[in-house]
Amino acid sequence: MSAALRSRRARRGRDRLRFGVLVGALWVAASATAIAAGNGATPRVISGEYRNETIAEGARRGGERFELAVHVDGSRTVSISSDLTSRNAWFTVVLRSAADFRPLEAYADYWNGGVHKGSGLFRVEGERVFAESRGKTSGVQRSETVVPARFSIGAHPVSADGWHTASHDATKPGKQQISLYSVEAGADPAKPVLGTLVSLDIEFLGEETIEVPAGRFETHRYRLAGMNDLWVHGPERIVVKSELPARGLRYVLTSLQTR
């Protein structure tokens, strides 16, 4: 190969390298500008973690993480990973709601006792919830359930339990009943991951300022089913603390970030 040819090839290689560096720099700059300007689809994202513990000793039983995306149209998507170490269980749940917290769709995948129970996909269309469950033992199962205009989906992780309170009419005092589409999450792998419409009692107990590891929060306190107290914060109805005194269990919020 002649010296002139080697020189031309070397120049082309340097030119390609400079072009690649320039393109990379422009991509990084554009990405940084987009991030600085915010995400047009999801202007706000809230993430947090919980510790699941005993009330008496504070012994750890597991934990939970969530990421809540608040979209530009007011709808919400929450993605949840729930670690139930004491039960050798793991729940993965995604819930979507409209701006008024009416459910749009959901996905739930459950492990219990070290065994995969199955998964369920739920789609809300008008006055019906269409569900499809898949499990190694239960096989493929489908169901269709008529639901009222105001209802909530109970997939069991604590992160979205505050959404149930959106169906509570704050202008009316005392205990109220809401409609809950409760998803089957028990340990029996023969039972498919489908839902059943049930009544849930909700009672508003007043406003309280409480302190947890994540900080100090102004909350509304509710009692669900006469046994589960929830301290709920802000317009996104973030659960700050959840207690089940009859079972000696609670969840406390250990971190919370908004970006």
Q: Which helix (H) or strand (E) holds 54?
A: strand 44-54
Q: Which of these, 67, 70, 71, 89, lies nearest to 80 by C-alpha position?
A: 67
pLDDT digit string, tens, across residues 119-170: 999 999 999 999 999 999 999 999 999 999 999 999 999 999 999 999 888 7
Query: Alpha-carbon distance 13 to 134, whole Å?
Result: 54
Confidence of residue 24 (pLDDT cuts 50, 70, 90): very low
CATH number reported for the structural domain that contains residue 73 in this entry: 2.40.360
pLDDT digit string, tens, across residues 187-213: 999 999 999 999 999 999 999 999 999
Residue 16: give the domain boundaries.
Answer: 1-37
Query: Alpha-carbon distance 93 to 108, whole Å?
Result: 4
Greatest C-alpha distance within the chain = 93
* Residues 207, 231 share a domain: yes
* Residues 12, 122 share a domain: no
* Residues 250, 224 share a domain: yes
* Residues 249, 204 share a domain: yes
Q: Which of these, 83, 8, 33, lies nearest to 53 by C-alpha position?
A: 83
* Residues 114, 6 share a domain: no
CA distances from 169 to 34, 74, 111, 181 (A): 40, 20, 35, 18
Query: Alpha-carbon distance 46 to 69, whole Å?
Result: 6
How many structural domains is the chain composed of? 2
* Residues 228, 195 share a domain: yes
* Residues 198, 74 share a domain: yes
